[in-house]
Every structure is written in C-alpha cells, then in structure tokens.
Structure 1
C-alpha cells in the first residue's frame, strides 16, 4: 500500500525479527484513521465565532485534503476554580450539549464531502485543544475569538492557546 502500512493485529502470533525493534502496542497513532493524521483541529461550542471558525476550518481541510477534528470542550470544573481556588476534585457531569452539536453537524451540508470526527473533552479549553492537536499531529488549530466580559476578565482562550501551542493557531474574528 502506498504511503503507510497498517499494523498487524495484536492477537495474531508471528515470529519476531531480532533486527527490528518491536512496535509499541499501546501507541494510539498507529490505530488512527490516516485521513485524520495531520488534519485540522477546530474548537466548536455552537457560538457565532466558533461557527465562523468551523467554516474556515472546513475550507482549510478541503484545500489540504485532510480530515477535520472538531473538539467540544465541556466545562466540568466546579465554580470554585473560576474564583481562583483549587478544586477538590473534577466534577464529571455528562454534557448533553455535545450530543446536540453532533446531531447539528451530522445534518449539515457543509461537512458532506469531508471526513470529520467530533470529540468531547473536559477541562481547560487551551490544554484540551493542544492535546488533541498533539494526538492527531494536526497541521493547525482553528478557534474563534473570545468575546464579552469573561474574555476580558479571565483572558481569551485564543490568546492563551496562541502563546502555548506547538503548532499554528488561527484565530477567526
């Protein structure tokens, strides 16, 4: 096959060649669909700016011939974190908004010709987007700007992400 090799199933017994090192069995990137390797990661929460970021990311993925990794980061942190206190534990409350977003995206005509996946993550938005970008070896992360009072008080997600990311971050106004 041209370009890449599919790994052998782990349950199949075969003789090991002592001259080649064993392939890591728990390395997730070998099990990923190649369409999403070096894809475009986009943060999406259903807001107007995230819809514009999604539209830009769709065009970027089309031009690059790659897949689109849509990430919805659910806020699962207690309110004490926003007040500056350390959380006693993370609250793992299911976020049904991701299911609604998934249904809306599945019915959208914009994503008809493009391989895409919707991931739900919980925690800090910047950390989770960068983590997904690293897992999929993304070419870029696309986000919308943070608007309103919360962005001014706590700092914008796009600004923090642009400072810490190890790949290009595209901020859509």
Structure 2
C-alpha cells in the first residue's frame, strides 16, 4: 500500500492519549491565556461597588503576583422574563458598554501595576462569573455588594455567588 504507513507503537500510545482528552477541556485550556491561570476574577460593571471590588482585586493580584481577569456580564434577558411571561431566552444584542468599560480601564493608571484582561459574557451574572473562574482556575472571585430594592427582591449577586461558587468569593461592601 503506497503512501500508507503503519504507526509505530509510540504513535499508537499518543493517538490513544489524544482520544482521552475531552473536547471541552481542550477548548477551555486553549482559549485561556496561561499567564492568567490562578488569577483573580472580578465582576465589573462600572458601578461604585464594582469599582471598590476592582480596587481590592488589584491589591490581591499585586500581592499574589497573579493576573487579573475583569469580567463584564451583559444581562441579555428580556425584561418580560422577570415578570414570568415567557421562557428565558437570551437576546443577542450588541453591548457597547463593554467597549466603553474597556477604554476606561485601559486609561486607568492603577491597572498598570498588574497584568489584566477584560472578558465579556452574556447571561446570568453569577453563572458567568463562576464559569470564568472555572476556566481560568481562579484563586478567588471578587464582587461588590448590592444595595437597594433590587437586591432585596431578587437576591444579591454576591449572596447567590457565595452560596454556589466552587472557589472563594470575596464580597466588598
């Protein structure tokens, strides 16, 4: 058989090892920059409480010598879902807020002290923060606390995340 080579036993072992790697793990490990493995994830939306959380996360990242993964989650659920009128379906709309936040962060002098990236996600804030933490194997997730009527009615992001997260959650008042 011209052009066909029988693999050596070492090649067969390598091929068997390649089959054992789950596809999802291969994708997640390839998509995350290794410089940010075991970094600090912080939820940021530009609010006062998220700015305080960012400042604290910068300090943690600086002290531990790790990277900072800043996550902006665009909640793309239609308002009718909150009223229970239709099933939760994500609406794909461009979120220019992430671009604005990215430009603001790029100009921030206090971020020059640590390596950082901005990750945009869409969906449930708690789920997405935990998912980014899992992808980057983060050492901690830092979030600001929620004050006001919305936090009392629907539960705060910090409270829900602290109950369900698989890694330490630091809540900044």
TM-score (norm 2): 0.85
Question: Per the alignment, do residues 88 and 151 of structure 1 end up closer, same or farther by CA in structure 2, a change over 3 Å counting?
Answer: closer
CA shift, 1:56, in A, is 0.3
- Where 2:111 maps in the other structure, the secondary structure is coil
What is the match of residue 18 of structure 1?
13
- Where 1:16 maps in the other structure, the secondary structure is helix
CA shift, 1:17, in A, is 5.8
What is the match of residue 5 of structure 2?
none
Counterparts of residues 37-52 of structure 1 (less than 5 Å):
37-52=37-52
Counterparts of residues 10-159 of structure 1 (less than 5 Å):
16=11, 18=13, 21-22=17-18, 24=21, 26=23, 27=26, 28-30=28-30, 32-87=32-87, 89-159=89-159
Question: Per the alignment, do residues 17 and 115 of structure 1 end up closer, same or farther by CA in structure 2, a change over 3 Å counting?
Answer: farther
Distance 1:137 1:93 in 2: 29
CA shift, 1:115, in A, is 1.1
Instruction: Identify, as 1 or 2, the structure richer in helix.
Output: 2
Question: Per the alignment, do residues 153 and 68 of structure 1 end up closer, same or farther by CA in structure 2, a change over 3 Å counting?
Answer: same
Distance 1:17 1:32 in 2: 29
Structure 1: runs of 5 or more not aligned: 1-14
Give per-residue Cα distances to partners, 1:25-81, cap 9 Å, x unaligned. Answer: 851214532220000000000000000000000000011111000000101110112
Distance 2:77 2:152 in 1: 20
Question: Per the alignment, do residues 153 and 25 of structure 1 end up closer, same or farther by CA in structure 2, a change over 3 Å counting?
Answer: closer
Structure ID, larger Rg: 2
Distance 2:31 2:91 in 1: 30
TM-score (norm 1): 0.85
Give per-residue Cα distances to partners, 1:106-128, cap 9 Å, x unaligned. Answer: 00011112111101111110000
Contact 1:44–1:50 (CA<8 Å) still a contact in 2? yes
